[in-house]
Amino acid sequence: MSGFPYANEYEVHRTLPEQGMERADILHMLSDLSARENLAWESGQCSGTMYCGDHDHYDFLNKAFAQFSYVNTLQRDMCPSATKSEAEIIAMTLDLLGAEHLAGANPGGLVTSGGSGSIAHAVLAYREANPQLTGRANIIKPETAHPAFAKAGHLFGVEMRVAPVDPTTTLVDLDWVRTHIDANTVALIGSACNYGYGTIDPIGELGAIALEHGIGLHVDSCLGGFILPFGRELGYDIPAFDFSVPGVTTISADTHKYGYALKGTSVLAFADQSLRNAQYFYLTDWSGGKYCSPGMDGSRSGGLLAATWAAMVHVGRSGYRRYAKAIFETSAQMQTAVRSHPELRVIGTPSFLFSFTSDEFDIYHVNDFLRTRGWRMNGQQYPNAIHMAVTRPQTLPGVLERWTADLAEAVRYATAHRADPAKSGAIYGGVVGGPSLEADEFIRAVMAEMMDHQASIPAP
């Protein structure tokens, strides 16, 4: 266990201080910590996570946030501006995702707390919209779809049927999907694009299957929703994945990723409001008053709606297109560097996010070396692979050149160390035979270190 963060420099509080600290001291400390931690990604060597990375933009969003940070959006009589922000976020997202193709329908949306929130609300909506089922509802998801679907299934008692994917293309096996639909299947899932490989499931085919069976199709565009539409405009070979595809009934798109908003918002777009309305929760006969909230959250900060709205109307179509262009170009060039090494293999046909592995050595050797040069890749398993979600920090001058040079050295390092076990592979790589009891224990220990930190704080 590593030590409790910053325990050597700053006081650790285990009880509320009797006398509060000075505001200036607190802010001084927080800006010190933030500036030091920003170094981890400001170099442009961190995959994903910091989608924007522009401190001027963050300052602007923080100002927008500050105007309404203390407002509770449940009290709409007091904050009609929250309705302006929320309704416009939803309308702009629907428009971006091709809602004009939904002739005769009544599209709608929900602003949620993040991608997992959007996915959870979609799973709940499909369950609630099908009260006629005699058994437990099920949803079919490709293996590559985000764990948030499994989590939502776990929370809401919906069975997740995991469809295998083609090992070469990483795309979902459509025949498997077709043969596993039954009377209790309420929806199919496709990703555009998925988190692991940056590949896009055959949404057109999934839509056709969904229509044939009269069930829903959720497209997980948490990652791609605010960048793929602009990649298509720029002429990149990206198949239609939005409401222009017949059969698509919901799409999740994260404003807090390539929407360049603050962390804490995502949009769940519905082809028809009736599906959204099916998952509302309200209690009209409570002694405490009539209660109604659109989603799972109760109180929400008006600041996040204001900041998300501000990000969208400030960046605008031309801004999103310009950033998408830089990201797609950088990703293509980084992939070219990977392909220049015969020892490495790019998996499937990726987009702005690409994953690669090796058939010559454990790819975690490459990761081990890249780490020594300040790169922070995301680790994958079955097979072991590492991915880079290209974001705006990677488009800064010099990053591509550093990538090309460091990758070449990493390949030499991996070749020389092929007979040894890779260091980072022990944590991020696949466990032979799948998860075990030890893995469960390990996860609990990691969580405890995050939240309880008993290991580092002496008992009183």
Ligand X SMILES: *Cc1c(COP(=O)(O)O)cnc(C)c1O
Q: Which residues bind ligand X (CB under 6 A)?
A: 114-116, 146, 148, 191, 194-195, 220, 222-223, 254, 266
Q: Which is nearer to ligand X, 114 or 207 (CB)?
A: 114
Q: From its phi and psi, is residue 114 left (phi > 0), alpha (psi between -120 and 50) or beta?
A: left
3-state secondary structure at position 413:
helix
Q: Which is nearer to ligand X, 148 or 344 (CB)?
A: 148
The least distance separating ligand X from the CB of residue 145, rounded to whole angstroms, comes to 8
Q: Which is nearer to ligand X, 1 or 447 (CB)?
A: 447
Q: Which is nearer to ligand X, 378 or 384 (CB)?
A: 378
- Residue linked to tokens 């946030």: 65
Residue number with the smallest Cβ distance to ligand X: 115
The least distance separating ligand X from the CB of residue 222, rounded to whole angstroms, comes to 4
For the chain, the first-to-last Cα distance in angstroms comes to: 20
The least distance separating ligand X from the CB of residue 48, rounded to whole angstroms, comes to 8
Q: Which is nearer to ligand X, 197 or 320 (CB)?
A: 197
The least distance separating ligand X from the CB of residue 237, rounded to whole angstroms, comes to 20
The least distance separating ligand X from the CB of residue 422, rounded to whole angstroms, comes to 25
Residues 6+ apart with CB under 8 A from 378: 47, 48, 386, 387, 388, 389
* SS3 of the chain: helix, strand, coil, percent, to 5: 45, 15, 45
For residues 173 and 7, give the distance between their C-alpha atoms in angstroms, rounded to a whole number.
51
The least distance separating ligand X from the CB of residue 148, rounded to whole angstroms, comes to 5
Q: Which is nearer to ligand X, 191 or 394 (CB)?
A: 191
Pairing verdict, β 266-270 and 281-283: unpaired
Number of continuous H segments (helices) and E segments (strands) in the chain: 14, 13
Q: Which helix (H) or strand (E) holds 112?
A: strand 108-112
3-state secondary structure at position 163:
strand
